């Protein structure tokens, strides 16, 4: 009994010395929601208003507010239902798919040269040659470098004409790259632009390919430059909307 107690005491001492999470290694990968948050040009912007704000009749401070938003603006998740009939909605994605190893594919140099660049299957192959094969359950993030333009709509989207999405220009994925990632069985694909399909896309083919495979997307992902190619664990937790086509998502990376 005595020995058991000693073992338990030394185990708890051990835990105290090596915390499970080093909080200095957390990276916040979501942008705030406010009047500057970038939405798709045809979507209503984020709305927020105060319902009560100040001392109550009884004398204590009381503040409450209401927000209204498209499911698909700012840093958000696209559920597979968004482009896949019969696929899971936001609340139906199990948390086991929303947490996983992050793999960051950096195509920022190519995107610098061509703002309509699309990640190729060869880019994915080059990443795997350098960092190992992308595995089932991975969360693959595409780094285009576009985060540096946030929240400048014109630079970020390529065009800031209100309610017009016909002249957008920003990088994304090619159909072949999306098919390869689907083949690998990844849980989700994220990007630091407004869409996984490039701005000029009219058929949103990568959305179609990934949704049909039950894969969710993360768009307008922040701080991709602060997460290494491999070794981080990603937590991408959307608002749990039953049957949702997506939702605002708080993404946190625990870096090595």
Site string for Zn ion, 208-227 (x = CB under 5 A): ---------x-x--------
Dist. CA 24–CA 11, nearest whole Å: 24
Say what the alpha-carbon torsion angle 149, 152, 157, 160 is, to the nearest 10 degrees. Answer: -160
| DSSP code string of 139-206 | EEEEE-SGGGGTT-HHHHHS---TT--TT----EE-HHHHHHHHHHT-SEEEESSS-SB-TT-SS-HH
Dist. CA 79–CA 209, nearest whole Å: 13
* Beta-carbon count within 10 A of 243 CB: 11
Q: Is 207 a catalytic residue?
A: no
Closest by CA position to 98, among listed 84, 81, 82, 79: 79
Q: Smallest distance, Å, CB 240 to Zn ion?
A: 19
Q: Smallest distance, Å, CB 47 to Zn ion?
A: 21
Dist. CA 200–CA 232, nearest whole Å: 31
Q: Which residue is nearest to Zn ion (CB)?
A: 78
Dist. CA 150–CA 229, nearest whole Å: 22
When asked if residue 71 is in the footprint of Zn ion (CB under 5 A), the reply is no
Q: Smallest distance, Å, CB 147 to Zn ion?
A: 17
Site string for Zn ion, 86-105 (x = CB under 5 A): --------------------
Find the catalytic residue in 76, 82, 131, 207. Answer: 82
Q: Which is nearer to Zn ion, 92 or 128 (CB)?
A: 92
Q: Smallest distance, Å, CB 204 to Zn ion?
A: 8
Site string for Zn ion, 173-212 (x = CB under 5 A): ----------------------------------------
- Interacting stretch for Zn ion, rule CB under 5 A, among 51-59, 71-79, 114-122, 153-161? 71-79
Q: What are phi and psi of 240, to 5 degrees?
A: -85, 80
Q: Site for Zn ion (CB under 5 A): which residue of 71, 78, 123, 138?
A: 78
Dist. CA 173–CA 189, nearest whole Å: 10
Q: Smallest distance, Å, CB 217 to Zn ion?
A: 5
Q: Which is nearer to Zn ion, 78 or 138 (CB)?
A: 78
- Interacting stretch for Zn ion, rule CB under 5 A, among 60-68, 72-80, 143-151, 236-244? 72-80
- Residues with a catalytic annotation lie at 82
Instruction: Give the interface with Zn ion as residue ranges (CB under 5 A).
Output: 78, 217, 219
């Amino acid at each position: 009994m005595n020995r058991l107690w000693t073992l338990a005491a030394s185990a708890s001492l051990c835990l105290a010395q090596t915390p499970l999470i080093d909080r200095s290694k957390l990276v916040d990968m979501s942008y705030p929601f406010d009047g500057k948050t970038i939405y798709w040009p045809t979507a209503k912007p984020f709305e927020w208003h105060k319902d009560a704000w100040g001392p109550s009749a009884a004398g204590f401070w009381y503040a409450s507010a209401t927000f209204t938003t498209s499911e698909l603006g700012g840093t958000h998740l696209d559920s597979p239902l968004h482009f896949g009939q019969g696929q899971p909605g936001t609340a139906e994605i199990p948390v086991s798919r929303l947490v996983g190893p992050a793999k960051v594919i950096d195509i920022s140099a190519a995107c610098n040269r061509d703002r309509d660049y699309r990640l190729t299957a060869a880019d994915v192959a080059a990443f795997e040659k350098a960092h190992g094969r992308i595995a089932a359950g991975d969360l693959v993030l595409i780094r285009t470098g576009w985060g540096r333009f946030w929240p400048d709509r014109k630079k970020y989207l390529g065009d800031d004409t209100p309610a017009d999405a016909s002249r957008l220009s920003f990088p994304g994925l090619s159909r072949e790259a999306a098919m390869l990632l689907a083949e690998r069985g990844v849980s989700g694909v994220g990007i630091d632009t407004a869409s996984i399909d490039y701005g000029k896309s009219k058929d949103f083919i990568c959305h179609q390919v990934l949704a049909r495979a039950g894969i969710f997307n993360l768009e307008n992902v922040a701080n991709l430059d602060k997460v290494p190619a491999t070794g981080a664990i990603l937590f991408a937790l959307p608002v749990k909307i039953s049957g949702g086509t997506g939702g605002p998502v708080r993404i946190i990376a625990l870096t090595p």
